[in-house]
Structure 1
Amino acid sequence: MYLFPRIHLPLKAMKAAEAAKTAPDAFYCRRLLNATGIVVVPGSGFGQVPGTWHFRCTILPQEDKIPAVVSRLTDFHKGFMDEFRD
């Protein structure tokens, strides 16, 4: 199953990405990988509309493990948004 969700990043996160010399969606994806081990691909490699941010992922775990993966992703996203709240 492929997903291509749009993420709305706070200005503070976009400034942190700029300071790290990386695109905001790539910054988010790298932080997700480092925090959870979940690998996703920045949407900027797929022709997203300029000024919007996405990531692309493929979910392949056994069906009974999907809720745990979704929970880790949700927890990361909430923490990321709290950290970079404007």
Structure 2
Amino acid sequence: MKLLTLTEYCLLIFFTGVYLAVTGFTAQDIGLYIGIALIYTFSHIFSKRLLQKRGKEQQQVNLFFSVLAIVGSVLITVFFIAAIASFAK
């Protein structure tokens, strides 16, 4: 897996989880789709610019580290959702 794709996936997982938590999991229909599309667009642009500056856009990542990064992204997202939910009450 390319580092660019992995970075996009991790950012998309994190910010989509935070977006859904902030909206209280009530985002529906067009608002949900527009929100996720904007999150993907911004995460793609940010990760591409970040990796181009460092010259690592085409770098390959080991499968173990890819899985580890995605699982870590999910765990951090769940932590942030729990933190947002606890502050909301």
TM-score relative to the length of structure 1: 0.39
Flag the structure with higher strand content: 1
TM-score relative to the length of structure 2: 0.38
Report 1 or 2 for greater relative contact order, CA contacts < 8 Å, sequence distance ≥ 6. Answer: 2
Question: Greater CA radius of gyration, 1 or 2?
Answer: 2
